[in-house]
Structure 1
Amino acid sequence: MQIGLTVGDSTERLAATAAEFAFAELSIGESAYGPGDADDELRDALDASDADLCVHLPFDQVVSTPVTQLNDAIVDYQTELLDWAGSVGARKAVLHATMRNPHDTDQRPTFADQLSAIAAAGDDAGVEVVVENVGHQARGLPLSVLGDIAEETGTAVCFDVGHAYMEDGNDAIDRFLGGHADRVSHLHVHDVRGRGDTHLPLGAGEVDYGVVAEHLSGFDGTVAIEVFTDDVPLLEDSARRVRDHLDGGA
């Protein structure tokens, strides 16, 4: 298991916080870090931190729509970003599982085709695409649907523990991991309160990480601390807590 952290779109935050972590996850594309804008600074920050790179693909675009031309353009854009990510040595790329209308069951095969095409582009670039659950959001696929499509397409999953809790509490975490833990290659970890507070340090909310440990004890993938702070000791405490759970299974 390797533990890193999300750094948004900021190479400055990466430089300030990533030194104690195995990797940094950088948001790229529209409304985020623009590939080519400051690549020398990015490389310098990664070298100084001795951190590997993962990326988060854009939040703004859905993965699929009912319009073929738009779908083709989405794949082309994501492919361009993945090619860049591969060129700077990124290991994984997180993709939100979103559709124009996630409740349109007739369009779910289109989402599966889009996901397969984007994952294949990642393979070509040497970057593992991991699809993230965002079922608590208006355009996000429900967890149960995402699990089935990930199995069908053979796509790795970025399981966001806090997002799953927001969708249906600790039961949602248990159900998804009970059926699809073997698809999970990457984790986003943070704590959540039911009133809507998210991305809290572990231990500050209501997520039962013991449930995660029941299914992922001995996890050998990557874990990104997604806590919205630049307080390094606080980030390190969340890293220690998740390591204690997943290494010890308690």
Structure 2
Amino acid sequence: MIGISTYCLIEEPLSRALDRLSELTGLIEVMDEGLHFADSPELFGSYSSDFIFHAPYHGMNIACVFESVRKASVEVMTDCFAVAAEIGAPVVLHPGYFAWENEREQANRQFNKSLAELSSAARELSVAFSFENMGDMNFFNLRTPEDLAIINGIPFTLDVGHANLNRCLPGFLETKFCHMHLHDNNGKRDTHSPVGEGDICFPAVMAAMRREHATAVIEVKSFDGAVESLRALEAL
């Protein structure tokens, strides 16, 4: 099953987004930010869809060298875990970043501290989580297949658009992953375009998804683009 992220309806209330997307797919990824911030599990009880949560990321940095920011970021992620656990939804996280090259080692230590705390919280709440690869932004963790070691065996979500920006999608397609974010681009900007509007080879993406028995959601900027992408992918 190919799902859709609420990102394509981020300007509408979450309930309205869920209504519209549940008519198209039985798998919805909730972009847990802005109007789609989910602070209570009750809303989801009226839907038969399966859900995945994308944890908040604006202002969050679980690798931050400032301990107060790191701790607050972990707390926000853990709150997301708690809501997701109530409805049996796994959670996708961003892996953090460092601001200056000479902070890399310190940021790695901070990330490892956060990873231990998040893993403990996930065990306590019985929730699964994974880390997503990032785009071509300097100092972000987890941009290439070689960076997978940093997540220390935690499941991996493959964002194909981000991998294309870093010119390493073929390498990522050969790795193990549990989930995918599907969107297109021309390798220059993170446009989250509909499938077919960039240069990503989606037959290869779909073959890897089936090989790994992974879940996948379309993560594009517009509702019409999501519908268009769903039709294109279902034809592959």
Q: Which moved more, 1:106-115 or 1:50-59?
A: 106-115
Residue 177 (structure 1) aligned with residue 173 (structure 2): yes
Query: TM-score when scaled to structure 2?
Result: 0.82
Tell me if 1:132 matches 2:132. Answer: yes
Q: Secondary structure at the match of 1:228?
A: coil
Find out whether 1:95 has 2:96 as its counterpart: no
- Structure 1 residues 65 and 162, CA gap change in structure 2 (3 angstroms): same
What CA distance in whole angstroms lies between the structure 2 residues aligned with 1:119 and 1:29?
Answer: 22
Pick one of 168, 192, 209 that aligns with 1:199. Answer: 192
Q: Which residue of 2 aligns with 1:43?
A: 45
In structure 1, the residue matched to 2:25 is 21
Counterpart for residue 143 of structure 1? 144
After TM superposition, the structure 1 = structure 2 runs for residues 1-250 of structure 1, keeping only pairs within 5 Å, are: 2-8=1-7, 9=10, 10-29=14-33, 32-36=36-40, 40-44=42-46, 47=47, 50-60=48-58, 61-87=60-86, 89-101=87-99, 103=101, 104-106=103-105, 107-141=107-141, 142-144=143-145, 146-150=147-151, 153-168=152-167, 172-178=168-174, 181-182=175-176, 184-196=177-189, 198-213=191-206, 215-231=208-224, 235-243=226-234, 245=236
Tell me which amino acid in the other structure corresponds to 2:213.
Answer: D
Secondary structure of the residue aligned to 1:20 is coil
CA distance in 2, matches of 1:55, 1:228: 17
Deviations 1:188-208 (A, max 9, x none): 001112342622221121112
Match of 2:147, SS state, is: helix
Structure 2 Cα separation of the partners of residues 12 and 53 of structure 1: 15
Give the share of equivalent positions with the same residue, in percent.
22
Q: Name the aligned partner's letter for residue 219 of structure 2.
A: E
**5+ residue gaps, structure 1:** 246-250
More divergent stretch after superposition (50-59 vs 208-217):
208-217
194 and 99 in structure 1: CA distance in 2 versus 1, 3 angstrom threshold: closer
Which residue in 2 is equivalent to 1:248?
A: none
Decide whether aligned partners of structure 1 residues 147 and 19 sit closer, same or farther in structure 2, where only a CA change above 3 A counts.
Answer: same
TM-score scaled by length of structure 1 = 0.78
Distance 1:213 1:20, change over 3 A: closer
TM-superposed CA distance for 1:7, in Å, is 0.5
1:122, distance to aligned residue in structure 2 (A):
2.5
Contact 2:135–2:190 (CA under 8 A) maintained in structure 1: no
CA offset at residue 132 of structure 1?
0.8
Cα RMSD over matched residues?
A: 2.6
Letter in 1 for 2:98: R
